[in-house]
Structure 1
Amino acid sequence: MSRFALKMLGIAGVFGVFAACSATKGGDNSFGGSETTSSDGTSQGGHGAAGGDSGEGGIAIETGSGGGGSQPPCIDTPGVDDDGDGFADPEDCNDCDPNVNPAAMEVMTAEGADPVDEDCDGEIDNIAGTCDENLLVEDPDPMSAVRALDICRNAQGPRDWGLLGAAWVRANGTPLTAPTNQYGIQPNFGPNVSPRGGDRMLAISSGRARLPGQTGACTTESCNGHGLGTAPSGFPQSVTGCPVGSSINDDVGLQVHMRAPSNATGLRFNFRFYSFEYPEFVCMSYNDQFIALMNPAPAGAANGNISFDSMGNPVSVNVAFFDVCEGCPLGIADLLGTGFDTLDDAGATGWLATTAPVKGGQEVSLRFAIWDTGDQQYDSTALIDNFEWIATGGTVPVGTTPEPQ
């Protein structure tokens, strides 16, 4: 039976959120496909870490271990790497603290703490700004998409932290070379949704990553894209009590390869998910999905995916965070002017935050991807923004939580 027939019969319309998923956690996901490197090779300013108000593109918010306060006494032997961070003095400006060296990121000093020059550049709390102003919606360069995520610093050597490469891909990592309007760099998403960091945010869609009135915008709830795709291992991910489709269509993604600062303990980014499938097609085999595959996958990831709710549900219309719709806690204001407000019933999440642990100096890849499940109808769009390294110490969990709206 077609989706249209199902909708007319009212078979769907299940509004509940379903607990638990059957996906195996802690799995790995290989990242296929090529990556492009920065064309200019310049080192641009980094962006903030989680934990509070970062100010204008701040790299971190509070002092982490080694990020402030007095340091324990140690013996600083000239020319010897006393703290074991890979750097010896005079290159290391504090060889008694492994969180201070030229490969570290600057951490904003907490109130009452002693200021520290974490990156040994001779300046304290020199936090760089963002880098996504004046980007065009239709810009096809994956490096521009990375800037829209507020990833601004390019790694300048084998020990330096920052961006190592980026590429447009299909969901399984296969390179995507043809221009497409399934991704776009947006200054807003309607009048009520603004970027969480900087001036722009990235939109990826199983339909069109365009707003009404923009060139290439979709004028129905379903616009075909790249057609049949190959899902990453373990996907589409099932939700307990719901059927799951076996095929994906119109998949598109951005893969980003980075090296973490030597004092980083985690990463963080914001996203939202919009879908025409809500509420008619909740808990059906057609449910589109958004994923953020991390490699190497941290413990607790679901098939490598780090964006899921507390019950392990993948990001789809079954996720626990669907709060934007008629009668939902956040109402319909964030649907206005997006195209999801006029064409059909639709819903969305509010802003969400995904975090995951990393090791200092670790190379990591993130693949953000979205697709239609089971058919090419009733498209979905994800907004992604405000990537940050976390260098405030402590243990960083893997998973997703709602943000203050």
Structure 2
Amino acid sequence: MRPWLNFLSFMTAAGCLGMACTGNIGPVIGFAAGDGGAGSTSGTGGDDPPTTADATITTSGVTGSVGCGGLPEDDTDGDGFTELQGDCDDCNALVNPNALELVTVGGDGGAAPEPVDDDCDGIPDNVPGPCDEGLPLDDADPLNAARAVELCKMASGPGDWGVVSAAWVMVDGSPPPAQAEQLAGFHLGHGLLPGFGPNVTPKGGARLLALSSGTARQQDDEGFESPSGFDKRYEGDFPDGFPKDPRDCGDLVPAKPSDPTAIEIAIRVPSNVHGFSFNVNYVTYDWPYACTDFNDYFIAFLSPRPTDLIDGHILFDAASNAMSINNKFIEVCTCEGGPPCNLDGLMYACPRGTRELLGTGFEGRAGTSWLVTSAPVEPNQEIKIRWGAYDAGDHLLDSTGLVDNWRWLTDEDVKVVTLGDRPEL
């Protein structure tokens, strides 16, 4: 087996957050590096691991032994491919035509390892670059929205990994509204942005995906409408498992979705992958109106759902709050006489101020800054991911979610966990 540099040990300054454990919300240091031996391209605490168009994790260059027996028509390593089907190392189940190409790096010193051709395309370490340069802001092709989050590879057929399909949908997965005026408003709710204001830049590539209950635009973009309330005049239904009552808010009756916009992407998982992560950033005009029936939500659903979750929703804080103004990750904010800010008994430290809201139309409101979440998948499995934003009941006080930087994870023990991808304050 190939030894792996472990880029998947997440570290926080105040304990692990999300499903796997509990702790207070605090500054979090991105991905931790592995042993950093000779030839390693690993980062240090607070830095992201090396990135490619499909978010690879680096490996060492050790392959399985040669001469392991079997005939060319035999699948000796049990990875689903024979030599006749293009398996270039039938002694190593991590190497086959449906594998993710990984960057070969050194281990604990000594001679540099031989590069490995993980995907058997004849070119070792053939890792592509980003694929979202030059995409139009108002691009209506959902496959280009996938490219904007670094889901670059399209599946060529049933035995090939990559994006299988993509579609614009409502937050419950149903089709967009059919009436022309409503459909035009729906499509203003998604955008492929070069940034969100001058202080929020993509986490990978040149573009990020914005999904909004208002307009997914920056303040100076064509089509922008104030997030104080852009009524697109259509309604939707709750996604599975919603409404979710926020903790510490008493008894609420969350209102049904208004002006929802979402995308659903079907992806076939590479044969050497066990999970994925992506970055998300949420801003809302709901501030300072916490704990109301009309608070907006940003959702992320995975299908098939991860084990131990009652539904497929994978975007939540340590108290299981879905992404809204009532989520513990709201750190981009301010208030009169503060921070800290007391909103009807909910306390917000607001350590990041409001600099990240400049140029977005959400000045004086609130957001999370960039976060990262991860979830497990099975090799060769076909999955669906659905991201979306919706108003709750009133078409007022819009919210926008940003998604970027999809990464495949090769660790076999990936958990559903939402962490703050924060620089030191």
TM-score of the superposition, structure 1-length normalised? Answer: 0.82
Tell me the number of residue pairs that the alignment of Structure 1 and Structure 2 aligns.
350
Which of 64, 67, 76 aligns to 2:69? It is: 76
Contact 2:18/2:419 (8 A) holds in 1: no
1:302 offset after TM fit, Å?
A: 5.0
SS at match of 1:229: coil
Distance 2:128 2:220 in 1: 34
Distance 1:123 1:310 in 2: 43
SS at match of 2:50: coil
Distance 1:330 1:400 in 2: 19
SS at match of 1:208: coil
Distance 1:167 1:294 in 2: 15
Which of 92, 100, 106 aligns to 2:101? It is: 106
- Which amino acid in structure 2 is aligned with residue 169 of structure 1? V
1:76 offset after TM fit, Å?
A: 2.8
Partner residue in 1 for 2:193? 186
1:70 offset after TM fit, Å?
A: 5.0
Partner residue in 2 for 1:15? none
Contact 1:323/1:331 (8 A) holds in 2: yes
Task: Using the TM superposition, name which of 368-377 and 261-270 deviates more.
Answer: 368-377
Deviations 1:14-37 (A, max 9, x none): xxxxx999xxxxxxxxxxxxxxxx
- Which amino acid in structure 2 is aligned with residue 333 of structure 1? R
- Which amino acid in structure 1 is aligned with residue 315 of structure 2? S
Which of 58, 62, 67 aligns to 2:58? It is: 62
Q: How does 1:275-354 map to 2 (within 5 A)?
A: 275-278=284-287, 280-301=288-309, 303-326=311-334, 327=339, 328-341=350-363, 345-354=364-373
Distance change (3 Å), C-alpha of 1:175 and 1:247: same
SS at match of 1:147: helix
Distance 1:209 1:236 in 2: 23
Partner residue in 2 for 1:394? 412
Distance 2:157 2:142 in 1: 21
Deviations 1:48-87 (A, max 9, x none): xxx9532553642322xxx643535772312210111111
Which of 218, 222, 226 aligns to 1:211? It is: 218
Distance change (3 Å), C-alpha of 1:76 and 1:59: farther
Contact 2:53/2:152 (8 A) holds in 1: no
Does residue 391 of structure 2 align to residue 381 of structure 1? no
Distance 1:295 1:250 in 2: 23
1:314 offset after TM fit, Å?
A: 0.5
Q: How does 1:162-181 map to 2 (within 5 A)?
A: 162-176=162-176, 178-179=183-184, 180-181=187-188
TM-score of the superposition, structure 2-length normalised? Answer: 0.78
Distance change (3 Å), C-alpha of 1:250 and 1:141: same
- Which amino acid in structure 2 is aligned with residue 267 of structure 1? F
- Which amino acid in structure 2 is aligned with residue 330 of structure 1? R
Contact 2:214/2:227 (8 A) holds in 1: no
Distance 2:245 2:90 in 1: 50
- Which amino acid in structure 2 is aligned with residue 96 of structure 1? C
Partner residue in 2 for 1:126? 126
Contact 2:57/2:408 (8 A) holds in 1: no
Partner residue in 1 for 2:260? 251
1:124 offset after TM fit, Å?
A: 1.6
Distance 1:219 1:320 in 2: 26
- Which amino acid in structure 2 is aligned with residue 398 of structure 1? V
1:239 offset after TM fit, Å?
A: 1.7
Distance change (3 Å), C-alpha of 1:378 and 1:87: same
Distance change (3 Å), C-alpha of 1:293 and 1:108: same
Distance 1:389 1:302 in 2: 24
